[in-house]
Chain A
Amino acid sequence: MEIKHTLDEMTSQLTVNLQERGINDPLMIGIHTGGVWIARHLHESLQLSEPLGTLDISFYRDDFTRIGMNPEVKPSKLPTTVENRHIILVDDVLHTGRTIRAALNEIFDYGRPASVTLVVLAERDGRELPIAADVVGKHIKLSATQHIKLEGPDKLNLVVQETE
């Protein structure tokens, strides 16, 4: 699935959302790995002056006691304090909501933000927690055997795959 057009739509939706709420200086944070790719695009098109933050939620996952340590874990990098800031949290796919729960917990360990706005490229059915996105690029309904994945980072492409 081509996503360039979707990213443009998300940019305008997000611009309106921030304007309506009077937020001028948001801090954007992308979730590793696909969320960071999407955040880079939005960060550029919104021309945010502050560097993009990146979050790896491996240390906050709720399934550590089931699957162990993620060997691909990357450092989280937040450019400044999140205390009192309006955060734009970006991920590629919103599915169960567990990643966002973990990300929120991690952000709150860095400080108390003024607000968190959730932006996702795609949301699919299958929520297991009461979490909803504020800006959504695509709404996708999948069967139980399918999952959706963002390929990148050079050319971003959203693909639906059959789970083995």
Chain B
Amino acid sequence: MKQNNIQLNDDGQLRHFISIEGLKRQVLMDILDTAESFISVEAQQVRKVPLLRGKTITNLFFEPSTRTRNTFELAAKRLSADVLNVNISASATSKGESLLDMLHNLEAMHCDMFVVRHAQSGAAHFIAQHVAPHISVVNAGDGQHAHPTQAMLDMLTIRRHKQTFADLRVAIVGDILHSRVARSQIHALTTLGVTEVRVIGPKTLIPNDIASLGVHIYHDMNEGLRDVDVVIMLRLQKERMSGALLPREKEYFNLYGLTCEKLTLARSDAIVMHPGPINRGVEISSDVADGPQSVILEQVSNGIAARMAVMSMLLGQRFANETEGGQ
């Protein structure tokens, strides 16, 4: 429990955003409602709101990322914050500076928020434990643990197409074992009260303990896709695989790749999602990825609004509490 409590202040408001696990339904709904309002900012001639003027948000990416870092940066800029991108591999750690020394230096530069991406599970939590009290930490993906803003943008995308979560059957397909995205999605979907979450994949890519999260496991994709409302495809994370976890790519595509033919097993109004980047012809065929049921590019747009919501709520609670303390 302690792992999650660090995310909340004494009033139960979000102070850091490390993991979906342990957050109440209302907190997730507040994020979705706020994100929904930020979508309308896209319609402005000046696509910017002045909420975080004069605040500094630092992207600390210890692991390469294009889309996530770009959308975090755009989200911060649309909130009028200043953004500092720290390229870690080319920076301090290569000169022997410790992580904590680097954090304290950034604190001395009056940063307000760290957005952290790291290959180690628990990295964002560790940083949240050690930062100065006025700094908020957002987890932008830690190892195989969590990627909570990705899960929130996915929930936002689902809600914009399906209105309510209660009646939904959602299938998550592919490399569950290495996927922090899948873990965060499962926590979000079950917290928001969907009817059923299914995970579909080969035995080697589904962790043994996953059923304890309340999901149903399918190894046959044709069975698993039947009557679902949402199909979430995961990227095959070849860079994280060692040993004989995986059959050849072509064989994998035949068994677990999403094709138009397999998609007909889902409900006719089912939407197809993918966190990106997509491996065409490995986990998804091009005609599905570019087809009418695909909402993959909407996910990217919604990612900006979802991240704007999280960042503004985190810094907003801090200001509110500082004011109370100052009176």
Which A residues are closer than 8 A to B by beta carbons? 56, 58-60, 64-69, 71, 73-78, 81, 83, 105-106, 108-111
Contact B37 A56 (CB under 8 A): yes
* Of A59, A69, A77, the contact of B313 (CB 8 Å cutoff): A69
Task: Point out which of A58, A65, A77, A106 has the most chain B C-beta atoms below 10 A from its C-beta.
Answer: A65
Q: Which residues of B contact A83 (CB under 8 A)?
A: 45
Residue of A nearest to B47 (CB): A109
Which residues 20-64 of B have a CB within 8 angstroms of A?
A: 30, 33-34, 36-41, 43-46, 48-51
Contact A69 B316 (CB under 8 A): yes
Contact B49 A68 (CB under 8 A): no
Contact A58 B30 (CB under 8 A): no
State A60–B40 Cα separation when bound (angstroms): 13
Q: Which residues of A contact B318 (CB under 8 A)?
A: 68
Q: A71-B33, A109-B44, A110-B46 are in contact. List 10 more A-B contacts (CB 8 A).
A: A59-B38, A59-B49, A59-B50, A60-B50, A69-B34, A69-B316, A71-B30, A75-B36, A75-B40, A109-B49
Contact A68 B37 (CB under 8 A): no
Q: Which residues of A contact B50 (CB under 8 A)?
A: 59-60, 105
Q: Which residues of A contact B34 (CB under 8 A)?
A: 69, 71, 73
* Of A60, A66, A73, A78, the contact of B43 (CB 8 Å cutoff): A78
CB proximity of B29 to chain A, nearest CB, Å? 10
B317 close to chain A: CB less than 8 A = yes
Residue of A nearest to B312 (CB): A69
Contact B45 A65 (CB under 8 A): no
State A7–B37 Cα separation when bound (angstroms): 30
Q: Which residues of A contact B38 (CB under 8 A)?
A: 59
Q: Which residues of B contact A75 (CB under 8 A)?
A: 36-37, 39-40
Contact A109 B48 (CB under 8 A): yes
Q: Which residues of A contact B51 (CB under 8 A)?
A: 59, 64
Q: Which residues of A contact B44 (CB under 8 A)?
A: 109-110
Contact B316 A60 (CB under 8 A): no
Task: List the 10 closest pairs (A to B, CB-CB), nearest first.
Answer: A68-B316, A68-B320, A69-B316, A59-B49, A109-B46, A75-B40, A65-B319, A66-B323, A73-B37, A75-B37
Contact B30 A60 (CB under 8 A): no
Residue of B nearest to A73 (CB): B37
* Of B33, B43, B316, the contact of A110 (CB 8 Å cutoff): B43
* Mask of B129-163 contacts with A, CB within 8 angstroms, 1/0: 00000000000000000000000000000000000
CB proximity of A129 to chain B, nearest CB, Å? 16
* Of B13, B33, B40, B48, the contact of A76 (CB 8 Å cutoff): B40
Q: Which residues of A contact B36 (CB under 8 A)?
A: 75
* Of A68, A78, A106, the contact of B319 (CB 8 Å cutoff): A68
Q: Which residues of A contact B41 (CB under 8 A)?
A: 59
Contact B317 A76 (CB under 8 A): no
Residue of B nearest to A76 (CB): B40
CB proximity of B44 to chain A, nearest CB, Å? 5
State A93–B132 Cα separation when bound (angstroms): 42
Contact A67 B312 (CB under 8 A): no
Q: Which residues of A contact B33 (CB under 8 A)?
A: 71, 73
A59-B51, A69-B312 in contact; A74/B45 too (CB < 8 A)?
A: no
Q: Which residues of B contact A77 (CB under 8 A)?
A: 40
CB proximity of B81 to chain A, nearest CB, Å? 12
Q: Which residues of B contact A56 (CB under 8 A)?
A: 37
